[in-house]
A and B are shown apart, each in its own frame.
Chain A
Amino acid sequence: MEATHQPEAQNMGPIGRAEKLPTAKLHAVQYFVALILAVLITGLWRLQVLNAENFRSLAEANRIRKVPILAPRGKIFDREGRLLVDNYPSVTCYLLREQVKDLNADLPLISQGLHIPLDQIQATLRRYQIAPNYQPIPLKQDITPDEQAFIAAHRDELPELETLDEQRRLYPPDGFAAHLIGYVGEVSEQMLANDDRYSLYSPGDVVGRSGVEATYDALLRGTDGSRDVIVNSHGKELGRLGQEQAIPGKDLRLTIDLDIQMAAEKVLEGKIGAIVAMDPHTGEILAMASRPTFDPNQFAVRLTKNYWNEILNNPDHPLLNKTIQAQLAPGSTFKIVMSVAGLQENIAQTMHVACNGGATFYGHFFSCDRHHGMVDINNAIPFSCDTFYYTLANRLGIDTIAKYATSLGLGQKTGIDLPDEVSGNMPSTLWKLKTQHEKWYAGETISVGIGQGAVTATPIQLARALSGIASGGVLRRPHVVFSDEVPPQMLEAIHESYPGSGEATIPLTAENWQIITDAMANVTSSPIGTAYIAHLDGVDFAGKTGTADVVGGREKNSTNKSTIPNAWFVGMTPRRNPDIVVAVLWEHGYWGNNSAKLAAQVINAFVTKQRKRDNNIHVADTPKPHTNPATSSSSKAPTPTAE
């Protein structure tokens, strides 16, 4: 072994007087150097020739960052083009986790500079833990100039902070029309996970969360663009490449009339309740107000904990749009539904009931608030005589009542283009069997006759039902956005997403139509009417009051606010083929005529406006004899003037 591997060098350079290094060894070193350089060149070849394309694209990905350009949301106008919702420029601070190695070390400085509590930042980071690292996390919206200056000054220490110019929502102040318009917010994780409509959205995207903002989000939101910027490893912008412009969202015109809306908002001030005004010819909502309200501007920027708690802890549910989400006993307003049923069944025309402050049915005494004497259909409505309607209900039976009520849209959603409408309830024998597995007792029908018991309805349902009755049987789908503002496919999709009674026509003879509407006119215009106090001189104002007992409250002089009856009123002008129908719910408003006074102010605002516009002030008197538009070819109703 050793002999064969005796180094050559010792042969070449003789031991003893070796003053020269053996040439062979130096050659060996030369070959060794050449070999090493060859290996290195092979390494370079592999990277620079074989994989150059791959590395070139990695280098490009390193230096080019896509910065989103957020599309401004569409503005929202009233029916006459008056601005309701605007945008304003705002700066949001984002956190880029990719840009930093030890994020936790920077958090105290970020917390201090941006005035966000440390634990809140950490909570935000936890929420985005599952999101990919390159995705920017919105840290704080609508930052102040001071905070912007802080970020600019700390570019080098905190390269992970990035600002983005955005357009932010500016809503009317004081919660004006807040329920109708809704608000925007970050898409929630539940929405992303459970709702197909949000499958293309990613966390942090701003979407409409309620009201028109939610229903018409797809129209309002527009399409975000992006800008390619060249950055260095600290994220500092060195230059720009190209950009894809953002497409702004579509402006939206609502059916709301700002003047009517203002009147509705004004009369509800300080009360709990709701007002909805509708054009019965089309189903266009002219005003929609609900109280208590909330400030959607607080939702547009990061919601403060205090404000959120204030809303959550308010027993009157400020976020609830009571026009479509309060399902309560309609009380005596239900009597117009009863009247349609009684007249169309040919029972009410000939019915005469002696009211002695009530009557006994099936062994129980049902009271009326007055002794009305002999009552027929013509004065039962202005009197709001319970005894008459107890008797009528008893003769019709629950299923006939339910048939007419259902055809007028009770117990179902109306299909209004707003999210989370509720359906109310209309009892029947089938309903009781289904829900309670019990048979219906005839005695239960009696209180249904005056809108108590298991009947519940929303203001929008009552407005639509009355619109249909007063228009001779033509019912419209209520809506807050003009149909021609919406692409046909989307309109179809919205109708599918918000199913309801929609458009319908019910049979109502001209005589019955006239009887009911005339009787309703007497509610406000005749001194015997329950709402005479709310009559409007020179306006053909008709309606029906309702004083609905609330659960647990029978004694009407109770001081406990929650047991005071709800005051309802549904009204319109003119009495036949009206141009406006108003439904008012005043929770714990005591008497229906209190609500009638609120409705009168809204109606008055409408009439005053119309007269001003026509510049042609007429005084309404008795309306002309009418043909039933349901049976005539003309569906266009006359204006609230008479000749």
Chain B
Amino acid sequence: MVRLSSYRDFDWVLLGFVLLLSLISVLEIKSATLHTKFHGFDHKQIGFLAVGLVLMFLISLIDYHRLIDISHWAYGISILSLVAVLAVGTKVLGGKRWINLGHGFHFQPSEWVKLILIVSVARFFWGLVGKELTWTDIAKAFALVCIPMALVLKQPDLGTALTYLPILICGLFLGGIRFRQVALILLGIALIGGIAVKSGKHLKPYQQARIDAFINPDSDPRGSGYQIRQSLIAVGAGGIWGKGANKGTQTQGDFLPIPYTDFIFAAFCEEHGFVGAVGVLLLYFLILMRLIQNAQTASDLPGSFIIMGVVAVIVFQVAVNVGMVVGLMPVTGIPLPLLSYGGSSVLFTFMALGIVMNIRMRRFVN
């Protein structure tokens, strides 16, 4: 059976939105690193984007069913690579998250595992089509996601580990979990959480400090509250129209922490104001709506599942990152997809888009 695929069916509109966001990303990284030793990261980001685009087109060529077929192998390799990180990983900023590939290249497996998890979860729920979800199925789904999650938590990288959760939640929701099951699970989590809080060994000190700082950013303006406080100042000082490109004093004066990665949205808010920020959120909205539309038109269930997994991850990361920047969420260290600087993040996003294109291009087949 020959599957028809053509670049006429490639989602050029979606790609247009994505490239627009990527352009904004490059310009803001340039501005945020102008006077720092990270000057030139905008060029590196362009490189990552180029590689990402190539990967996207390559992945769109391979039938996603092939990917599903090999997903259990990929899953196994993922687990191994995460264990490898714990064993031989490079320590950066207090966490072992990277494998040094030599020649200045580092690889962060936890990003790539995200993609494999999306496919694996799709494959898992595809296998359950037509059945009601039993507690055993739910337990298996949890195990599928929570094993890599635990390994990433161990690095420790709470942020990335958390991004695996929406894949699970989205899968369960679309897989047909019933309300009673949801209620019981939430009750169980609340119980375990309560015990954990009681026992007092639930969070690392830096995590506790971040939560304290989130609740009261002014409590320790030079310590844990510093990041949130400076972020709020940057966003607020932007006002309606912003201070203009390269003119944000919080960004240019190095007051805003890591303004090219986790806090890039704060830098953008300072320089381009409420209008610019709403514009960027609108772009995310259009991208997400376009993705959901593609999920709807996918030719089969696993295709829809995969696209919705991608949607879940992007929605979660946008919500947590922007929420953090505007003070609605604690600091978690989750990058903003398509805006934050970083090779692993860019590659994940474009590979995920590659699969989405792949699914879209094959929507009329069967």
A interface vs B, CB < 8 Å? 1-2, 5-7, 9-10, 15-21, 23, 25-26, 29-30, 32-34, 36-37, 39-41, 43-49, 51-52, 54-56, 58-60, 62-63, 98, 101, 230-234, 238
What residue in chain A is nearest B239 (Cβ atoms)?
A52
B98 contacts A by Cβ under 8 Å:
no
Q: With a CB–CB cut-off of 8 A, which chain A residues contact B178?
A: 2, 5-7
Residue of B292, B308, B327 touching A43 (CB-CB under 8 A) = B327
A33 & B236 in contact (Cβ 8 Å cutoff): no
B281 contacts A by Cβ under 8 Å:
yes
What count of chain B residues pass the 8 Å CB interface test? 59
CA separation between A34 and B322, bound complex, in Å?
Answer: 14
Q: Which among B46-54, B101-109, B269-277 touches the partner chain?
A: B269-277
Chain A interface, DSSP helix/strand/loop, else mixed: helix
Give B237-255 as 1s and 0s: 1 = Cβ < 8 Å from A's Cβ atoms. Answer: 1111000000001101111
Smallest CB separation, A103 vs chain B (Å) = 11
Give 7 new A-B contacts, CB below 8 A, not counting A15-B132, A33-B292, A232-B255.
A23-B296, A37-B318, A47-B327, A48-B240, A52-B239, A54-B236, A232-B254
A21 & B237 in contact (Cβ 8 Å cutoff): no
Q: With a CB–CB cut-off of 8 A, which chain B residues contact A234?
A: 254
B176 contacts A by Cβ under 8 Å:
yes
B237 & A19 in contact (Cβ 8 Å cutoff): no
CA separation between A12 and B127, bound complex, in Å?
Answer: 20
Smallest CB separation, B241 vs chain A (Å) = 10
| In the complex, chain B residues 303-322 whose Cβ is within 8 Å of any chain A Cβ | 304-305, 308, 311, 315, 318-319, 322
A44 & B274 in contact (Cβ 8 Å cutoff): yes
B85 contacts A by Cβ under 8 Å:
no
A44 & B253 in contact (Cβ 8 Å cutoff): no
A101 & B222 in contact (Cβ 8 Å cutoff): yes
Q: Which among B5-13, B227-235, B338-346 touches the partner chain?
A: B227-235
B296 & A21 in contact (Cβ 8 Å cutoff): yes
What residue in chain B is nearest A50 (Cβ atoms)?
B236
Residue of A40, A44, A46, A63 touching B249 (CB-CB under 8 A) = A63
B326 & A19 in contact (Cβ 8 Å cutoff): no
Q: With a CB–CB cut-off of 8 A, which chain A residues contact B240?
A: 48-49, 52
Report 22 cross-chain contacts, Cβ distance below 8 Å, ordered by A residue. A2-B180, A7-B179, A15-B131, A18-B130, A19-B301, A20-B296, A21-B305, A29-B170, A29-B292, A30-B289, A39-B328, A40-B318, A40-B323, A43-B327, A48-B238, A49-B274, A54-B236, A62-B249, A101-B222, A232-B252, A233-B253, A233-B255
Q: With a CB–CB cut-off of 8 A, which chain B residues contact A59?
A: 233-234, 236-237, 249-250, 255, 270
CA separation between A29 and B307, bound complex, in Å?
Answer: 12
B80 contacts A by Cβ under 8 Å:
no
B70 contacts A by Cβ under 8 Å:
no
Chain B interface, DSSP helix/strand/loop, else mixed: helix
Q: Contacts A5-B179, A39-B328, A55-B236 hold; do A25 and B173 have CB atoms under 8 A apart?
A: yes
Q: With a CB–CB cut-off of 8 A, which chain A residues contact B176?
A: 7, 9-10
A232 & B222 in contact (Cβ 8 Å cutoff): no
CA separation between A31 and B178, bound complex, in Å?
Answer: 20
B62 contacts A by Cβ under 8 Å:
no
B269 & A44 in contact (Cβ 8 Å cutoff): yes
What residue in chain A is nearest B297 (Cβ atoms)?
A20
Q: Which of B177, B232, B235, B300 has the most CB of A within 10 A?
A: B235
A55 & B235 in contact (Cβ 8 Å cutoff): yes
Q: With a CB–CB cut-off of 8 A, which chain B residues contact A233?
A: 253-255
Q: Contacts A5-B180, A21-B301, A233-B253 hold; do A26 and B327 have CB atoms under 8 A apart?
A: no
Give B210-236 as 1s and 0s: 1 = Cβ < 8 Å from A's Cβ atoms. Answer: 000000000000110000001011111
Q: With a CB–CB cut-off of 8 A, which chain B residues contact A37?
A: 281, 284-285, 318
B304 & A20 in contact (Cβ 8 Å cutoff): yes
Smallest CB separation, A232 vs chain B (Å) = 4
Q: With a CB–CB cut-off of 8 A, which chain B residues contact A32?
A: 315
Q: With a CB–CB cut-off of 8 A, which chain A residues contact B192?
A: none
CA separation between A47 and B242, bound complex, in Å?
Answer: 12
CA separation between A497 and B348, bound complex, in Å?
Answer: 80
B249 & A21 in contact (Cβ 8 Å cutoff): no
B278 contacts A by Cβ under 8 Å:
yes
Q: Contacts A232-B254, A233-B255 hold; do A58 and B233 have CB atoms under 8 A apart?
A: yes
B87 contacts A by Cβ under 8 Å:
no
B253 & A40 in contact (Cβ 8 Å cutoff): no
Q: With a CB–CB cut-off of 8 A, which chain B residues contact A25?
A: 173-174
B326 & A63 in contact (Cβ 8 Å cutoff): no
Residue of B237, B254, B296 touching A56 (CB-CB under 8 A) = B237
